[in-house]
Structure 1
Amino acid sequence: MSITSIPVHFSDNRRRAIDRWVKRIVTACGVGILLLMLLLFFWLIWVVLPLFSTPGVQVVASQQLWDKAPVLAMGSDGPLGWRISRNEARFIPLDGQPAGPALALQGKPDGVAQSADHHSLLLNMQGDLLLMQPVNGEWRFPLGDRPLHLPQGAVSHMALATLTDNQWRIAAQTAAGIVLLTLDNSNRVGQILLPQQQADRLLLSPDGSVLYTSEGRLLRVWQVSADGAQLRETQTLTEKPQSLHLLAGGRTLLIQDTRGVSQWFAIAGPQGPRLQEIRTFNASAGASLIVTESQRRVFATLNAAGEVSLFASKQPGPIVTRKLAPGVQAAAFSPRGDTLLLERAGQWQRLRLDDPWPDFSWRNLWQKIWYENYPRPDWVWQSTAAGDSYQAKFSLMPLVIGTLKAASLALLFATPLALAAAMYTAWFMTPGLRRWVKPGIEMMGALPSVVIGLIAGIWLAPHISNALIGVLLLPLVLAATLLLCGLLSPRLPARWRQPGYEVLLLLPILLAVTLFTLWLPTYIWPNIGERLAHYEQRNLLVAALAMGFALVPLIFTLAEDALFSVPLSLGQGSLALGATPWQTLTRVVLPGASAGIFAALMIGFGRALGETMIVLMATGNTPVSEGGLFAGLRALSANIAIEMPEAAAGSAHYRILFLSALILLIFTLIINTVAEVIRQRLRQRFSQHEGQG
C-alpha cells in the first residue's frame, strides 16, 4: 500500500507581520539603549568640560579720572569704584557715568591700611589714625570723623583687622614701640604695648589673632589675645622682604623679595605651630605690585613692563598671564574676583577675569598637594568645612583607592565561595538536591543592597569587633577542616559515602567548627577590636564581607551556567576513558567553561565597583588613602551619593562629583571591554582545542 504525500501550503501573513514588528521593536529598543548610554556619556562630559576651560583676561573699558594725585587706596563695591588720594576720597561709577562730589580730607594722609575683607580702611593722617568705610556710595566713619591721636606718638606703619561689624583691631608702629588697639563704636576696649619693638612692616590676620612684623631679615609672629601679645616665633629670612600679604582665610602668608613671591603657612610641631616655607611661585620674580582677592586664595602680580599674572595657592606657577601697557600704579580686585581694576596715569582700566575655579587642575586630582597647615603634601578629599577660612581639597586618589580596595577584597572573598558552590552543584550534587540549593543561592541576590549594608553596619560590625581573631582565623580553620574531612571520608561506612549526600554530613561539621572558632577567641580575648589602636568598627573588612555576600549569587549563577554550557559529551568521554569526576572537572570542564567563568568574575568586579549602599553604610565613609584591613574608606559611588545633594549647582564641587562619576563609568567600560576581549580569546582557544581533539 503506497502512501501519497499531500503537499500543504501554509501561509500566515498575520504571524509574519507580527514577527516583523517585534523584530523592529526589539531593534529600536536596543538602539535606544545605546543612544541613551551615549547621551549619558556626553552629558557627563558637557558638565565636566568647563573645569578644564582655559582662564582668560579681557580688557573691558577705560575711563579718565578727575583727580590726578597719586592713589593711596582703591577698590570697587558693585557698580561703583572708590579711590583715595592725598587730596580727596571719591566714588566713581564704573559704567562711565559722571562721578559724584568728592569728600575733602582734613589733612594729607600718608598711607592707607585695609582690612582683609577690604571693607574698612585705616588712614594715617600725618601720624594720627582715621577709620573709614566705603558703603553703597557713602563714606562712613565708625570711630568718628576726627583722627585718633595715640599718646605713644606719631604712627609710621599700621595694620587693620575687622573683628566684628563694630569692632576693630589696629596695630601701629610708634616711637615707643608697637601698639595694639581694640576699638569699637563707642570707646577704646583694650590696648597692648610692645615696648621697644620696631618693625618695617605690620600685618594682622583677618581675625586679629596673629600679628606679623618684619625688621630687616627678621620676621616675627605674635599671638594676640585680650590678655596680651606673646612672641610665638622668629624667622630669619634669606632676604629682606619687599612686602607681606595674606591670602583669603588668613593662613597663607606671601613674602615678596627679589627671588619672587614665596608661600608660607604654619605647621604644628613640638613647640606649637611654626611657619614653614612651602614654595616660591614660578615666574613671580620682578613684580612691582601684588594684590590679593578677599574671598579666594588668588593673587595677581604686575611688573613694570605691564605684565599681569594670576596665581592660586595650590598652583606652582601662574594660571594666566596677559601683557598690558606699562605704567600700572595700583590695582584692586572686585569682591567676586571676576574683575581687576587698574590705575595708570590718571586713568582706570578694567579687566574681566574668566577664571571661576582657580584652584582646580587635573594635577590636583591625582598628585599630592601641600594644603594649608598640613605637615606634608598628601591626598585629601575634604569638600566642606564649618569655618569660612576653609580650603577646598578635591583629591580623587583616596576615593579611587577606597573603591579598588573594597571591590578587590570583596571579590577575593566571594570568588572561592561562589566558584566552589558552582562546581559542586553543577558536577557533584544530585539533581534532586540541586533543585533546592540553586534557587536558594540565587534568591540571595534578591536582597536589596541597602538591607545588606544596614545589617553589616548595625549588627555585623560590632560582632566582628568582638570576635576579630576568630573571624581572621576562620578561613584557615575551615580549609583545614575540609582537608581533614577529605582524608577521613574513605573510612566512613559505604552507606554514608553515597555520591551527592556527603554535604549532609559536612554541613553540620563546618557549622560546629565555625561557631567554635568564633566563640573561643571571644571567650579568651573579649572585645579585642576595641583594644587595637587603629581599629575602626566600620572598616574595610566589614565592607568586604558584606559586599562579598552580595556578589556570591551573581558569580555563582553565571559560573554554573558556564559549567553547564560545556558539551555533555566531553565530560562523558573523559569519564569513559577512566578519568575520575574531579579530574574530568579540572582538566576538561573548567577549561571549556573558563571564558564564562572569567566573564562572571569581571561582571562581579564591575558590580562591586559600582556598589553604593553597602560601602556607604559599612565603612565609616572616611576618605583616606592609607590604612589597612581595619581602617575605614570611602568609594567613588558612595561619595557621589553623600555629597551630590549638598553640592551647589555649577560649583567646582558639583562638577568634580560629575567628573568622578565619569571616571567610574570609563573605568567600568574599560574593565568590561578588556574582560570581553580576554573572554573571546579564551573561547577561541579552547574551541580550537576541542576541534582538534
Structure 2
Amino acid sequence: MSLNHIPLNFSDRRRRAIDRFTRRLVTCCGIAILLLMLLLFFWLIWVVLPLFTAPALYPQATQQLWDRQPALATGIQGDKGWRIGRDGAARIIPLNGQPAEPALMLRPIPQQVASSADRQTLLLNAEGALRLLQPVDGAWRYPLGDTPLRIAGGAAQAMALATLSDSQWRIAVLTETGLNVVTLGQRQAPRTVALPQAHADHLLLSPQGDLLYASEGKALRVWQLSDDRATLRETVALAQPPRSLHLLAGGQSLLIQDGRGVTQWFSVAGAQGPRLHEIRTFADSSPTAAIVTETQRRVFATLDPDGALKIFASKQPGPILQRQLAPGVEQAAFSPRGDALLLERAGSWQLLRIKNPWPDVSWRSFWQKIWYENYPAPDWVWQSTNAADSYQAKFSFVPMVVGTLKAAALSLLFATPLALAAAIYTAWFMAPGLRRWVKPAIEMMGALPSVVIGLIAGLWLAPHISQALLGVLLLPLTLAATLLLCGALSRYLPARWRQPGGEVMLLLPLLLIVTLATLIVPTYLLGDASEWLPHYEQRNLLIAGLAMGFALVPLIFTLSEDALFSVPATLGQGSLALGATPWQTLTRVVLPGASAGIFAALMIGFGRAVGETMIVLMATGNTPQSEGGLFSGLRALSANIAIEMPEAAAGSAHYRILFLSALMLLVFTLIINTLAELIRQRLRQRYSQHEGQA
C-alpha cells in the first residue's frame, strides 16, 4: 500500500462535530443579533408611543353641597377645593368626601370676585370695599389684613388682579369716575394711577402686572403699566365686540371670545415696538361657552350650556379632547397641574380626572411651521428648555433633520472624490510596492477617534479656515487645474520620470506649493472672513463637512479599493490586449465591474455621516436652524441627543421626544441600508451577466 494513499471512506467524526457546532454557534449568534435589534426597535417604540396617546377623561363620584346657589368663585388647591358662595361663606372642602372645614363668613358679603393668574389670590368686592383673600394650606388668609380698601369714585364695576410678588399686588378697578390701577404692598402705602378711560366692558391684567387689557365695544386698549405710570401702548380694532378675555399661562397669549369663537392673540415685535396680532382661531370653539384656563400650561377648556366639554392646547388647531357631560355646569376650575377639572352644578361638585400629560405634542407639531409667542412669523423651532417657569417648549425636528442631511451631504461631497480617486489610483495605477505602504497608512486614518477629529476641527481648523476662507474655497479649483495641467505636460517628461510611482514624487511637492500659495495669498488681501463676510460663524457647515469628510475618506477608500482590486485581472488585460487605453479600461471595464462595491461604500459612508455625533457636536455652532448656508451653524439629530439627553427628565415629553429622534435615526438607517443592498444586488447581477457574456 502506498504511503500517500487516502481511503475514500475517510471520515473524521471530531471534525464533523466541530463543523456542526461552529455552524450552529454562528447561526445562534446571527439570530441573537437580529433579536437584539428587534428588541431595541420595539423598546424605542414602547418609550415613544405614550407621546401619541389621546387624552382621556375619568369622571369621579358626585359630591353633594349644602348650598344650591351658584358660587362666586371656585378652585382647587392640592386635594382640596375652595368655594366662595353668594351668602359670603368661604369654605375649603376636601375632594375625598371628608367633612369640610368651618366656613369663613365674609362680611360684608362680596358681590364680585376676581382672581390672579395662579388663582392663589382673590380680590373681593363688597359694596365698593376691596379685600385680598388667599386659600393657604387648608385655611383662609388676608395677606393685607381684613381692613377693606376703598377706591375713590364709588363702587367697582369691573376689576382685575395680578400678583407681582409674595408681598405685592396690582389691581385694576373701573368705577363711575374712571379706570384706576392700584399697586398694593404689605409694607407700603397704595399707589394709584388714573387712566384716561371712562368705560370698559372687560378688564384683564397680565400675570406680571405690566400690561392691562381693557375692551370697550370693538376697541381693545393695551396699557403698559409701572408703579407710578401708565402708557397706552396700542389700540386694536376688533372685528366683533369680545364676550370675554382670558390669558393663557405665562401671560403672553390673549384669548378673545366673540361671535366667531375663540381666537389667540399675542404681541409681535415691529418697527413701533410689540403689537398684538391675531394668530389663529381655534376650530370648533364655541362663541357662548364658558372658558377655563390652566395655570401652568397653555391649555384651556370650553363648557357649553348643554354640557359639551372641549379641551384645547395653544399649538393645536382644534380640540384635543371632546366629551358630552351632563348640562347645568355653573362653575369650573382646573387643578394647578391640569390633571383634574372641578365642575359645580346646583348643589353638587364633580371632579373629572384628566390624563393629558403632553397637550402640545403631535406628529404635526414636529414637522409643520408653528407660530410661537413673540416670534415674527411661523417657523420650525427647536428650543427645549428655558430659565422661565412659564416657558413653552418648542420641539420641531426639521432643523435637526436639515442639519443632519446638510452635514452628511457636504461631507460626502468632500470625501467621495478624494476617496474614489485614491482608490482608483491605488488599485489600478500605483506600483505594487508602494501600494503595500499607502493602503495600510490610509486605513490607519480610520482608527482616529471622532472626538479627536472634532476637537481638532473646532479648536484648530475653524480659526484657520476663518483666516484663509477665500483660499479654501479656491483650493479645489486650483488643485484641479494643476492636476490637469500636469497631466497635459507629463508627456514631455523623461521616460525614467514617468515610471509608475515616480510621478507621485514629482506631483506631491508641486501640489503642496500650490496649496500653500492658494491659502496664503488671499489671506493677505482680505484677512479674516468675519471682517468682510456678514453673518459668518466660525464653527459652521463648512468646518463640519471638512472634518466629517476627513473621517469618511478611510472608510470609503478601503471598501472602494477592495472592490476595484477584486475585479478579475483578466478583464483588464483583455481590454488592454484589444487596444483600449488604461483610462478606457478603467472607465468601461473595471469601474462597472466594481460599481456594486463602490455603491455599497458610498452608502455605508452616508450612514456613518448621518449617525456621526462628536464631530458635528464640536465642529459646528450647535445651532438648531433650518436655514443658513455654508457659513452658518447647524445641529444634527445625533448631536442633539448627546447634548440634551443628560438634562431631560425621565418620562417627560422632552425625554420621549429625544428617544423618538433616536428611533427616526434607526429607521432611516435601516431604510437606507435596505435600499442600498437592493441596488447593490441589482448592480452585481447586471454586471456579472455582462462579464459572463464577455
Q: Which TM class, normalised by the smaller chain length?
A: over 0.9
In the other structure, the counterpart of 1:80 is 80
Q: 1:348 to 1:420 in 2, by over 3 A?
A: same
Which range moves more in the overlay, 8-17 or 370-379? 8-17
Give distance in 2, aligned partners of 1:251 and 1:344. Answer: 32
In the other structure, the counterpart of 1:68 is 68
Which amino acid counterpart does residue 34 of structure 1 have in structure 2? Answer: L
Q: 1:5 to 1:552 in 2, by over 3 A?
A: closer
Shift of 1:103: 1.1
Which range moves more in the overlay, 197-206 or 211-220? 197-206
Contact 2:544 2:620 in 1 (8 A): yes
CA deviations on 1:127-172 (whole Å, 9 max, x unpaired) are 1111000011100001111221123332111111111111111111
Give distance in 1, aligned partners of 2:3 and 2:658. Answer: 76
In the other structure, the counterpart of 1:31 is 31
In the other structure, the counterpart of 2:480 is 479
In the other structure, the counterpart of 1:317 is 318
Give distance in 2, aligned partners of 1:512 and 1:30. Answer: 52
Q: 1:416 to 1:5 in 2, by over 3 A?
A: closer
Give distance in 2, aligned partners of 1:320 and 1:416. Answer: 55
Give distance in 2, aligned partners of 1:669 and 1:211. Answer: 55
Give distance in 1, aligned partners of 2:349 and 2:283. Answer: 29
Which range moves more in the overlay, 294-303 or 103-112? 103-112
Give distance in 1, aligned partners of 2:5 and 2:543. Answer: 72
Secondary structure at the counterpart of residue 394 of structure 1 = coil
In the other structure, the counterpart of 1:574 is 575
Give distance in 2, aligned partners of 1:5 and 1:166. Answer: 106
* Structure 1 residue 684 corresponds to structure 2 residue 693: no
In the other structure, the counterpart of 1:326 is 327
In the other structure, the counterpart of 1:372 is 373
Shift of 1:290: 0.4
TM-score after normalising by structure 1: 0.98
Shift of 1:195: 4.0
Shift of 1:350: 1.1
Percent identity between the two aligned chains: 73
Contact 1:212 1:220 in 2 (8 A): yes
Secondary structure at the counterpart of residue 420 of structure 2 = helix
In the other structure, the counterpart of 2:587 is 586
Secondary structure at the counterpart of residue 61 of structure 1 = strand
Give distance in 2, aligned partners of 1:652 and 1:3. Answer: 80
Instruction: Say what the alpha-carbon RMSD is for the aligned residues.
Output: 1.3
Shift of 1:387: 1.6
In the other structure, the counterpart of 1:305 is 306
In the other structure, the counterpart of 2:506 is 505
CA deviations on 1:283-313 (whole Å, 9 max, x unpaired) are 1124331000000000000111100000000
Shift of 1:231: 0.3
CA deviations on 1:12-55 (whole Å, 9 max, x unpaired) are 33333233222222222111111111100000000000011011
Which amino acid counterpart does residue 656 of structure 2 have in structure 1? Answer: R
In the other structure, the counterpart of 1:562 is 563
CA deviations on 1:69-104 (whole Å, 9 max, x unpaired) are 221100111111110112111111111122121111
Give distance in 1, aligned partners of 2:382 and 2:659. Answer: 15
In the other structure, the counterpart of 1:392 is 393
In the other structure, the counterpart of 2:177 is 176
In the other structure, the counterpart of 2:264 is 263
Give distance in 1, aligned partners of 2:590 and 2:285. Answer: 69
In the other structure, the counterpart of 1:519 is 520
Give distance in 2, aligned partners of 1:48 and 1:586. Answer: 49
CA deviations on 1:415-443 (whole Å, 9 max, x unpaired) are 00000000000000001111111111111
Give distance in 1, aligned partners of 2:642 and 2:208. Answer: 36
Secondary structure at the counterpart of residue 235 of structure 1 = strand
After TM superposition, the structure 1 = structure 2 runs for residues 193-592 of structure 1, keeping only pairs within 5 Å, are 193-592=194-593
Give distance in 1, aligned partners of 2:422 and 2:244. Answer: 72
Contact 1:286 1:303 in 2 (8 A): no
Q: 1:332 to 1:524 in 2, by over 3 A?
A: same
Shift of 1:5: 7.0
In the other structure, the counterpart of 1:142 is 143
Q: 1:582 to 1:27 in 2, by over 3 A?
A: same
Contact 1:465 1:530 in 2 (8 A): no
Contact 1:176 1:196 in 2 (8 A): no
After TM superposition, the structure 1 = structure 2 runs for residues 3-82 of structure 1, keeping only pairs within 5 Å, are 6-8=5-7, 10-82=10-82
Equivalent residue pairs, number: 692
Contact 2:60 2:350 in 1 (8 A): yes
Secondary structure at the counterpart of residue 150 of structure 2 = coil
Give distance in 1, aligned partners of 2:627 and 2:391. Answer: 23
CA deviations on 1:572-600 (whole Å, 9 max, x unpaired) are 11111121211111110000000000000
In the other structure, the counterpart of 1:659 is 660
Give distance in 1, aligned partners of 2:677 and 2:506. Answer: 40
Contact 1:255 1:263 in 2 (8 A): yes
Shift of 1:636: 0.1
Structure 2 unaligned regions, length at least 5: none
CA deviations on 1:499-539 (whole Å, 9 max, x unpaired) are 23211111111110000000000011111233311110000
After TM superposition, the structure 1 = structure 2 runs for residues 558-637 of structure 1, keeping only pairs within 5 Å, are 558-637=559-638
Secondary structure at the counterpart of residue 58 of structure 1 = strand
Give distance in 1, aligned partners of 2:598 and 2:236. Answer: 65
After TM superposition, the structure 1 = structure 2 runs for residues 92-103 of structure 1, keeping only pairs within 5 Å, are 92-103=93-104
Q: 1:5 to 1:120 in 2, by over 3 A?
A: closer
TM-score after normalising by structure 2: 0.98
Secondary structure at the counterpart of residue 182 of structure 2 = strand
CA deviations on 1:552-611 (whole Å, 9 max, x unpaired) are 000000000100111111111111112121111111000000000000000000000000
Shift of 1:10: 4.3
Contact 2:191 2:228 in 1 (8 A): no
Contact 1:453 1:546 in 2 (8 A): yes
Give distance in 2, aligned partners of 1:195 and 1:270. Answer: 26
Contact 1:178 1:198 in 2 (8 A): yes
Stretches (4+) displaced over 4 A: 2-5
Give distance in 1, aligned partners of 2:3 and 2:109. Answer: 128
Shift of 1:3: 7.1
Give distance in 1, aligned partners of 2:190 and 2:175. Answer: 19
Which range moves more in the overlay, 520-529 or 624-633? 520-529
Secondary structure at the counterpart of residue 382 of structure 1 = coil
Secondary structure at the counterpart of residue 234 of structure 1 = strand
